[in-house]
Amino acid sequence: MSRCCEKSVTEIFGINVFNDSVMKQRLPKDTYRALKRTIDEGAKLTLGIAEVVANAMKDWAIERGATHYTHWFQPMTGMTAGKHDSFISLTDDGRAIMEFSGKALIKGEPDASSFPSGGLRATFEARGYTAWDCTSPAFLKADTAGNVTLCIPTAFCSYTGEALDTKTPLLRSMEALSKQAMRVLRLFGNQTAKRVITTVGAEQEYFLVDRSLYQQRKDLIFAGRSLFGAMPPKGQELEDHYFGNIPDRISAFMAELDYELWKLGVSAKTKHNETAPAQYEIAPIFTTGNVAADHNQLVMETLKNVAHRHNLACLLHEKPFAGMNGSGKHNNWSMCTNDGQNLLDPGTTPHENAQFLVFLVAVIQAVDEYAEILRMFASNPGNDHRLGANEAPPAIISIFLGEQLTDILEQFQNGKAKECKQYGELKIGVSTLPTFPKDATDRNRTSPFAFTGNRFEFRMVPSSASISGANIVLNTVVAETLSIMADRLEQAENFHNEVQQILKEVIRNHRRIIFNGNGYTEEWVEEAQRRGLPYIKNTVAAIPHLISEKSIDVFTKHGVYSKTELYARYEIALEDYINQIHIEASTMIQMAKRQIIPATIAYTTNLAHSINEINQVSGVSSKTATKILAEATELLDQFDEALEILENYLKESSQDLENHYEQACYYRDYVFVAMEKVRSIGDQLETVVDGNLWPFPTYSELLFHV
């Protein structure tokens, strides 16, 4: 019996998490209550409380085999990090005891100098601080060798408090949203809710390939995506993979993945085959925004680790294979009161409807006004291969609302909410709007930002990136529009009239962002441009929007990013782009020179020998062999020329360009373009050269071998 089946799901779920029930069990009542107040209401945490919690946490962890603890944080690399310390402490007489103080729980001081800081490090000191985020539970992580570490989710910042991570701004943005949403809720008469949290469910797409094949491909190892690869005879055109039968080997992998995630308290729920061959998806049940972000990091790490154990390699890159669907992350997002009211749930009474509509249009206005910033937070070099290509949401942000909601909102725009047979009197507070379908049946899959019954689904998020960025910007821009609405409503003489007025204005001013049609068509791109929607085609074009006046205004106003922090992120995003393309180009050159060219020469030499031998024996020259030889030789020359151009661009790129932005443009406009040429000839060579001589596994083997 596989290890996954030894215990029932309910027995193992959260077994490695220091969660609420463990805390209830192990903490003295008053400590538990104090900690809960911090977690639920943001109350200050005293060192005394931390001391008691740390001790209980340590005992719990040691009972489960832990020897070390780590402050687990998320630097701006998109991954997680942590310095591991053992619990060991020495007594005066030289004995070892296991210790963990409150101070060690709440604060750590890892050296920050090896993490990206975008200049924050130069001006401030190298030391970084990690601070316990008690709203995300601590957990135990075991490696394959059986070493167990207590992981404490932490925020990571510089000596002067600048955020060096993705969690700090995420927590700040959640605070900002809560504050503004609460103002609106109070105006609607809600006196019971204490805070509003964002709920997030991240659907994660990924590819699985055989590990031994993966190891033969330098591009997959170094760049995470294939830099060469001709299309296999069969791609995804039959659409037979999506939701298809899951092969045994994958099924075993998925079972262990679920099991490992459940132990970590990640509620892995849905799994299925995705569109492309060898592509799959996993989605947990939604939870609080920052926990969802932590969990998504755990999902990505666990995917890689479990794949390894099954002799598979998990590819999280946005576009591992050209010509096949790429991977994304669907960020399902909503706002919810601490007592469980989903603010994007239409509800059934007029009162609820009005409140729902205000929150709904707040999102619409925010997405329209800050589309460039949203687009920026959804960009990375990998996603440049997806967005706008014919498989993913276009690079233009629009909102799918569905017909019924669009219709209702349009009626507000056309003057006073007039009577409508289908929907009844629309005047808020007077009559009931119909209950909206919770689950719109015509799910529009082509929209980058879709309302799906009781939440929005932001579908542009890169599969390999942290979901924090997307949520930071969403929370902040919605906080901004809510704050404007709250300002107006607080001063209004007639609340209901003002609500009507707001709805009308938002629809009139922001209707252009609503698009229910097929987002994959060329007509939409034209239409969107007529509507004046920003069309930002790639990462480099998106990055400057981080430091636009609009961005600085909104992020600083809500205390999410300071201007310095935004500039730091701007630098990091550019550096990241440059590094990524540089690595890809270097890998490509290596594969070309050390693998493709030698293989092609070997092949053409074989051909030449054959031609000679045939000629000697039969006195005639083989037409076929001669033709193939000519073709391969010609292609090889072209390949070499293209390669030389790429090499030159790469060499020149090291010359001093003014700044990172110019360098990034150079990489995009010259290096990247030259790579495409090299690839296209390389892929033609693959179709000509003897398959037995081809130096690395092909798409056919990679995609259809598991």
- Using rule CB under 6 A, residue 291 touches ligand ADP: no
Stretch that binds ligand ADP, among 5-13, 35-43, 279-287, 359-367 (CB under 6 A): 279-287
114, 270, 521, 624: residue in contact with ligand ADP (rule CB under 6 A): 270
Work out how close the CB of 652 gets to ligand ADP at its nearest, in angstroms, rounded to a whole number.
45
Least Cβ distance, residue 82 to ligand ADP (angstroms): 26
Q: Which helix (H) or strand (E) holds 132?
A: strand 128-132
Euclidean distance between CA atoms 585 and 223, whole angstroms: 9
* The binder of ligand ADP chosen from 32, 72, 262, 286 (CB under 6 A): 286
Q: Which residue is nearest to ligand ADP (CB)?
A: 201
User: Which DSSP symbol is given to 668?
Assistant: I
Nearer to ligand ADP, 454 or 698 (CB): 454
DSSP H stretches of helix in 279-336: 289-309
Cα atoms in the 13 Å half-sphere on the side-chain side of 397: 27
Q: Of 148-156, 209-217, 326-334, 468-476, which part binds Mg ion (CB under 5 A)?
A: 326-334
Is the CB of residue 323 less than 8 Å from the CB of residue 275? no
Q: Which is nearer to Mg ion, 71 or 330 (CB)?
A: 330
Task: Tell me whether residue 333 or residue 570 sits nearer to ligand ADP (CB atom).
Answer: 333
Angle, alpha carbons 557-560-566 (nearest 5°): 95
199 counts as binding ligand ADP under rule CB under 6 A: yes
Which of 31, 334, 353, 379 contacts ligand ADP by CB under 6 A?
334
289 binds, among Mg ion, ligand ADP, none (CB under 5 to 8 A by kind): none
Q: Please name the amino acid found at residue 233.
A: P
Find the shortest distance in angstroms from Cβ 268 to ligand ADP: 10
Which residues, in sequence order, are CB contacts of 659 under 8 Å at separation 6+?
none
- Contact partner, 270, from Mg ion, ligand ADP, none, Cβ < 5-8 Å per class: ligand ADP
List Cα–Cα distances, 521 to 368, 402, 441, 536, in angstroms: 21, 18, 21, 17
Can you read off the two tokens belonging to residue 481? Answer: 């529009």
The type of residue at 582 is H
In the bound complex, what is the minimum distance in angstroms from residue 331's beta carbon to ligand ADP? Answer: 9
DSSP reduced 3-state for 379: coil
The helix (run of H) or strand (run of E) holding residue 630 is helix 623-653
Nearest distance in Å: CB 201, Mg ion: 9
User: Which residues neighbour 587 within 8 Å (Cβ) at sequence distance 6 or greater?
Assistant: 218, 219, 222, 223, 227
The residue with its CB nearest to Mg ion is 330
* 329 binds ligand ADP, rule: CB under 6 A: no
* Residue 58 or 295 having the CB closest to ligand ADP: 295
Q: How many CB atoms sit inside 10 A of residue 641's CB?
A: 13
**Rounded to whole angstroms, how far apart are CA atoms 643 and 653?**
15
- 200 near ligand ADP (CB under 6 A): yes
Residue 203 or 258 with smaller CB distance to Mg ion: 203
Q: Does 332 bind ligand ADP (CB under 6 A)?
A: yes
| Residue 594: other Cβ atoms inside 10 A | 12
* Distance spanning both ends of the chain, measured CA to CA: 22
Judged by beta carbon distances under 5 to 8 A according to partner kind, the member of Mg ion, ligand ADP, none in contact with residue 334 is ligand ADP
**453 burial via Cβ count (<10 Å: 0-12, 13-18, 19+):** middle
By CB under 6 A, is residue 88 in contact with ligand ADP? Answer: no
The partner in contact with residue 283, picked from Mg ion, ligand ADP, none with C-beta cut-offs of 5 to 8 angstroms by kind, is: ligand ADP
Residue number with CB closer to ligand ADP (296 or 595): 296
Q: Cα(618)–Cα(411) distance, rounded to whole angstroms?
A: 85
Q: Is 454 in the site for ligand ADP (CB under 6 A)?
A: yes
Residue 413 amino acid letter: Q
**How many other CB atoms sit within 10 Å of the CB of residue 148?**
16
Q: How far is the CB of 374 from ligand ADP (least distance, A)?
A: 17
User: Which residue, 147 or 348, is less far from ligand ADP as judged by CB?
Assistant: 348
Q: How far is the CB of 21 from ligand ADP (least distance, A)?
A: 21
Task: Return the bridge partners of 128, or none.
Answer: 158
CB of 281 to Mg ion, least distance (A): 9
Closer by beta carbon to Mg ion, 169 or else 448: 448
Q: Using H for helix, E for strand and C for coil, what is the string for 152-163?
A: EEEEEEECCCCE
By the rule CB under 5 A, 545 interacts with Mg ion: no
Strands 148-158 and 107-108: what pairing?
A: unpaired
Residue written as tokens 């209702």?
A: 408
Among ligand ADP, Mg ion, none, partner that 199 touches (CB below 5 to 8 angstroms by kind): ligand ADP
Identified binder of ligand ADP from the candidate list 203, 260, 318, 647, rule CB under 6 A? 203
Is 330 an interacting residue with respect to Mg ion (CB under 5 A)?
yes
Closest distance to ligand ADP from the beta carbon of 221 (Å): 30
Q: Which range of residues in 171-179, 198-206, 228-236, 590-598 is near Mg ion by CB under 5 A?
A: 198-206
Q: Are 458 and 330 in contact (CB under 8 A)?
A: yes
d(CA 166, CA 95) in angstroms, rounded, equals 40
Distance of CA 706 to CAs 197, 286, 324, Å?
Answer: 41, 30, 17
State yes or no: residue 302 binds ligand ADP (CB under 6 A).
Answer: no
Q: Return residues touching Mg ion (CB under 5 A).
A: 203, 330
Residues in touch with ligand ADP (CB under 6 A): 199-201, 203, 270, 283-286, 330, 332-334, 342, 454-455
